[in-house]
Amino acid sequence: MTILGIDPGTATTGFGVIKIPDDIIGREFDYGIELINYGNISTPKDRLMQDRLLMIHRQLNEVIEKYKPDAIALEMLFFGANSRTAISVGQARGVALLCAAEHRIPLQDYTGLQVKLMVAGGGRADKKQVQEAVRKWLGKNGEKRAQFGKLKGGHLDDAIDAVAIAICHVLKLAAK
């Protein structure tokens, strides 16, 4: 089963693609989570919003067409103090929802709190703790370690968050 995690945003939309065995439900630890790819879809701030949303739409569709996910896990909108940011994130979420509908891919929403709780073990986990937890869930040895050892903060924060969202979906599936 291939899962696409999406951390929506109009400036940067992170994505993470993971693969798990089809018989994940009821398995013990070592879920066999394989990192396939991760990255960001970035849009220039000087472009009109409709152009930025179209860029996100096209590039998300390219990711979907390339990796053919069986499920999409999407972060829900968090309304903080900045309503302008919330509105633009909501627009990017809408694009992700549209892509899922166009490709008829089942989609599950997760709050940031749910992702932190499931992946890092605590709802108050910070970015660094989530990043370390992502590394843990992806494994510790050999080729996998080298692959996800490249996951560093900075410009990849949104991509790492998207991988965490996908892992959260795996953990929810396994708990059923």
Domain at 126, CATH number = 3.30.420.10
The total of structural domains in the chain comes to: 1
- Residue-level pLDDT at 40: 95
Q: Which amino acid is present at 127? A: K
> Which sign, positive or negative, has the C-alpha torsion 88, 89, 90, 94?
positive
Among candidate residues 70, 157, 158, 161, the one labeled active-site is 158
Among candidate residues 23, 34, 70, 75, the one labeled active-site is 75
Q: Which residue has the tokens 């709050």?
A: 111
- Residue-level pLDDT at 27: 55
Do residues 51 and 44 touch, judged by C-beta distance below 8 A? no
What residues pair up with 175 in beta bridges, in sequence order?
A: none
- pLDDT, average across residues 144-167: 75
Is 70 tagged catalytic? no
> Out of 62-66, 114-118, 122-126, which region has the weakest mean confidence (pLDDT)?
122-126
Half-sphere exposure of residue 165: CA atoms within 13 angstroms, side-chain side: 30
Residue 10: is its pLDDT beyond 80? yes
Confidence of residue 6 (pLDDT cuts 50, 70, 90): very high
Domain enclosing residue 26, as ranges: 2-175
Secondary structure letter of residue 7 according to DSSP? E
Confidence of residue 48 (pLDDT cuts 50, 70, 90): very high
Angle at 30 between CA 28 and CA 36, to 5 degrees: 135
Is 23 tagged catalytic? no
Is 34 tagged catalytic? no
